[in-house]
Amino acid sequence: MAPRSVSSNIDYYEADSLFNDISNRLRSRMPRFDEDRLRNAYELAISAHDGQLRKDGSPYILHPLEVAEICMDLEMDADSIIAAILHDVVEDTSVRLNQIRQLFGNDVANMVDSLTKIKKIDFFARFTGRNKASNQARNLQKLFVAMTNDYRVIVIKIADRLHNMKTLGSMPDHKRIRISRETLEFYIPIARRLGLGTVTSELEDLVFQYLYPEEYATLKKQVSTYFHEHEQKIQEMVNTTRSLLEKNGIKVASIYGRSKHLWSIHQKMEVQGVGIDGIYDLLAIRIVIAGVELDCYRVLGLVHSRWQPIFERFRDFVASPKENGYQTLHTTVIGPGGSWVECQIRTENMDYESRQGIAAHWSYKEKPQLARIVKDESWLEFIRELSEDDVNSEEFVARTRESLHGDQVLVLSPRGEVVNLPAGATPVDFAYYIHTNLGHSIRGAKVNGNHVPLNYELRNGDVVEVIKAREDNAAPRPEFLMMVKSPKSMLKIRKYFKAASRDERINAGRTLLRQLITGQGLYPLNLMANDKLALLLKTMKVRSIDEMYQKIAIGEFDTSTIIAELKKIHKLRVEQGPKQKSGEPERQTRKVSLLSGVGYELGLQLTGGQLMRNRAEIRSCCTPVPGDKLYGVHNRADRIVYVHRLDCPKLQHDLRDGSLVEVEWSSQVEDKRYPARIRVHSLNRVGLLFEVLRFLSENRINLGGAEFSSSPSAFAADEMATFDLTVEVADVHELKQVMEVIMKIEDVYGVDRALPEEPATEPEKGA
């Protein structure tokens, strides 16, 4: 091989020593690897970086070699080690990617190319809300897509970040803080997701050291003192436990005492609001056995037979692994001297995987097949699906970040399959995790054998059973978008609506917006009146209300922003309404909001089934709902059809200015709700109105208006009460049920449909 081409006076003795160590370690693990190829990579890197120094004054070549050594600790393959050594040459030197491709092949070149692109991304800008969003988001999207094809890229990058964190001391304070926050927000969650336990713990403690130096120093001293004080007792427990296990035929690979990681302790103190004295499990022993999973439970029984367990702190991550594949039994016992000690019980294989994570599944003879890496396949599949979906880069990054952060919940299928979901997940999330079609078809669920609502929040250990729709081609309901917690579930539902017909998307978006408004305790017909939606459109990049509904269904519009804008519009309209005259008594009343729009959109049709395209208004005087017989009055001057119940006294009044039109309810009125006024007659006692309103609230019946009045009773000084309520119902049948239940409330003696009083007849001329 050609002699090294360097022109500087830098001493490369330390670099040569480090490279020889890497080469020897790789040879001991892979006797047949191409040593010349590895040395060529080293010589190219040392030549390319010749003369470059790091901030601390050391030769720059030491950095890629240290990164390669971390990759060696993770037992990565020879191509990964070569890529780690070369990961900065394309960015920082005159070496070109084609040169690397010719010398070391496509795999190494592709990894170096991806690592070079990653370096150009300002992760911190994306994750802290600084500007520069879209270009960085596009690059970050490319990174995640590349990671699903070859996860070695991100593992090398995490190794690079770990070495950078170890050498942050020479950086100015502001850079140390920025890089540490970036590491906490992005690299640590990915390292944890990939199961890189050792690397994650190192990164966390380094971040703690730089972000909170005073708290770090104080806690480090406290923990060191505490562990030193209890060291003898912990060693006594280790010796006693080892003897107990060996006496019962359990082969112990290793058993040792350890203190919790500082960052973990700090997080507990923050969450629980306590000092170090309030953390009871600072001490731990780890028991690694040369056996199988079943032996872990034997060890658990023996430990509990010797030390008193604290059962509420038991965690079984063997039967129900964490999403990153972590498997260990955690139990807390009262050890010598009354100290709480956490015992972690695992096999040698579990111990190896808890440290190496995804790297433990590496096959050195071939490129990794992600389908075989079961523990991370679900998350990587989500990233793949998200990259294939037509979402903008900012949403891609947001969804990916959501999938990285947050707690998890472990639930079981009826067959015992363990399913890992985000905390707060529902049976709908569970169904979509199992299969997309099962998610679309879910109509009910049982948890632990009991029926639960679809928005039930699952808990650890729940056994979930899905009740499917009867039809084969069932579609997701719009409200599923409100119920799911998992970004993957959300993605699948939106993908369905993107492929659905225009009418389906419009209906889904309208229904979702209405239900979200209802969920906030608001009245949809107030906020979703056409005149208010028309004002809303002026602030949005859409041409019609229907287009807005479509974009809501496929997730292109943020519904919370839309509702906030509608609230502002509604508030402004109310404030601009007629003012109460001075001296006029205040009435506790709210008028029924007008329900107007194109006839067929309101669920109306002309008698005989003909589509009603006229503008119509369902009158507030009689509040007709589906099931009521109707008549319409076509007011040609106003170009509108006023719709009344057949028995409405004001029907004749409207006929003076228009002609009669026979209208009826369309059969296509699903998912629509209408205001209906009812009149409640009762004794006027304290708490009666509250009972009525509580019933409406518990049954999620919207209250659109109320008017209260009272009058003296003929029997005593008590008063009789009458109050008109406007409730939102689907049809006459639901309205009847509401009225029947209110009638059962004590002291209510009558409930009926409210109608206006007969209009006074005009006196005849000459009378």
In terms of pLDDT, which residue wins out, 364 or 97?
A: 97
Mean pLDDT of the chain: 79
Looking at the chain, the whole-number percentage of residues with pLDDT higher than 90 is: 21
Structure-token match 């022993």, residue found: 285
Q: Tell me whether residue 399 is in a domain.
A: no
Query: What does the pLDDT average to over 748-764?
Result: 69
Q: Are 418 and 410 in contact (CB under 8 A)?
A: yes
For the domain that residue 456 is a member of, what is the CATH number? 3.10.20.30
Q: Tell me whether residue 387 is in a domain.
A: no
Cα–Cα distance measured from residue 538 to residue 543, given in angstroms and rounded to the nearest whole number = 9
Q: Are 114 and 120 in contact (CB under 8 A)?
A: no
The confidence score (pLDDT) of residue 760 equals: 44
- How many other CB atoms sit within 10 Å of the CB of residue 724? 16
Q: Give how far Cα 557 sits from Cα of 369, 551, 563, Å.
A: 37, 6, 11
pLDDT of 382 > 60? The answer is: no
Cα–Cα distance measured from residue 626 to residue 621, given in angstroms and rounded to the nearest whole number = 16
Most confident of 17-21, 319-323, 335-339, 495-499: 17-21
- Band the pLDDT of 317: cuts 50, 70, 90: confident
Structure-token match 């974009």, residue found: 551
Question: What is the DSSP track for 735-754?
Answer: HHHHHHHHHTSTTEEEEEE-
Structural domain ending residue among the three candidates 211, 234, 263: 211
Q: Tell me whether residue 374 is in a domain.
A: no
Q: Tell me whether residue 561 is in a domain.
A: yes
Q: Are 165 and 203 in contact (CB under 8 A)?
A: yes
- Band the pLDDT of 525: cuts 50, 70, 90: low
The per-residue pLDDT for range 391-423, each reduced to its tens digit, is 555 555 555 555 555 567 778 888 767 677 878
The confidence score (pLDDT) of residue 538 equals: 78
Q: Are 48 and 94 in contact (CB under 8 A)?
A: yes
Kindly state whether residues 90 and 107 are assigned to the same domain.
yes
Kindly state whether residues 469 and 523 are assigned to the same domain.
no
Kindly state whether residues 548 and 528 are assigned to the same domain.
yes
Structural domain ending residue among the three candidates 665, 690, 708: 665
For the domain that residue 704 is a member of, what is the CATH number? 3.30.70.260
Kindly state whether residues 97 and 191 are assigned to the same domain.
yes
The confidence score (pLDDT) of residue 445 equals: 92
Kindly state whether residues 417 and 305 are assigned to the same domain.
no
Q: Tell me whether residue 552 is in a domain.
A: yes
The token pair at 614 is: 């006229």
Residue 700, sorted as left (phi over 0), alpha (psi -120 to 50) or beta, turns out to be left
Question: Range with the lowest mean pLDDT among 96-110, 154-168, 273-287, 332-346?
Answer: 273-287
The confidence score (pLDDT) of residue 251 equals: 93
**Beta bridge partner(s), residue 710:** 721
Kindly state whether residues 49 and 104 are assigned to the same domain.
yes
For 22, how many CA atoms within 13 A lie in the half-sphere containing its CB? 30
Looking at the chain, the whole-number percentage of residues with pLDDT higher than 70 is: 78
Query: What does the pLDDT average to over 457-479?
Result: 84
The number of folded domains in the chain is 6
**Interacting residues of 539 by C-beta distance below 8 A, sequence separation 6+:** 565
Q: Do β-strands 308-309 and 329-334 pair in parallel, antiparallel, or remain unpaired?
A: antiparallel
- Band the pLDDT of 646: cuts 50, 70, 90: confident
Phi, psi of 360 (to 5 degrees): -70, -15
Q: Do β-strands 252-259 and 610-611 pair in parallel, antiparallel, or remain unpaired?
A: unpaired
Phi, psi of 561 (to 5 degrees): -65, -40
Catalytic machinery residues? 91-92
The confidence score (pLDDT) of residue 119 equals: 64
| Helix or strand holding residue 723 (H, E) | strand 719-729
The per-residue pLDDT for range 39-77, each reduced to its tens digit, is 999 999 998 888 888 877 788 999 999 999 999 988 888
Q: Which domain holds residue 467?
A: 406-486
Cα–Cα distance measured from residue 451 to residue 447, given in angstroms and rounded to the nearest whole number = 6
Cα–Cα distance measured from residue 333 to residue 303, given in angstroms and rounded to the nearest whole number = 8
Nearest to 609 by CA among 599, 596, 624, 598: 599
For 542, how many CA atoms within 13 A lie in the half-sphere containing its CB? 18
Q: Tell me whether residue 36 is in a domain.
A: yes
| Helix or strand holding residue 685 (H, E) | none
The token pair at 298 is: 């034997």
The confidence score (pLDDT) of residue 767 equals: 35
Amino acid code (one letter) for 274:
V
Kindly state whether residues 207 and 219 are assigned to the same domain.
no
Q: Tell me whether residue 393 is in a domain.
A: no
- Dihedral sign computed on CA atoms, order 375, 376, 377, 382: positive
The confidence score (pLDDT) of residue 574 equals: 54
The confidence score (pLDDT) of residue 379 equals: 55
Kindly state whether residues 331 and 251 are assigned to the same domain.
yes
Let me know how many helices (H) and strands (E) the chain has, helices first: 31, 23
SS3 381: helix
pLDDT of 462 > 80? The answer is: yes
The per-residue pLDDT for range 184-241, each reduced to its tens digit, is 877 888 888 777 888 999 999 999 999 999 999 999 998 888 888 888 889 999 999 9
Q: Tell me whether residue 107 is in a domain.
A: yes
Question: What is the DSSP track for 602-664?
Answer: GTEEETTTEE--SEEEE-TTT---BTB-EEEEEETTTTEEEEEETT-TTHHHHHTTSEEE-EE
- Dihedral sign computed on CA atoms, order 441, 447, 453, 454: negative
The confidence score (pLDDT) of residue 407 equals: 65
Structural domain ending residue among the three candidates 486, 516, 543: 486
Report DSSP state, residue 249: T
Amino acid code (one letter) for 304:
H
Q: Give how far Cα 493 sits from Cα of 403, 455, 612, 711, Å.
A: 16, 15, 32, 55
Kindly state whether residues 91 and 202 are assigned to the same domain.
yes
The confidence score (pLDDT) of residue 762 equals: 44
Kindly state whether residues 478 and 607 are assigned to the same domain.
no
Helix axes 374-388, 487-499, angle to 10 degrees: 40
pTM of the model: 0.56
Kindly state whether residues 560 and 690 are assigned to the same domain.
no
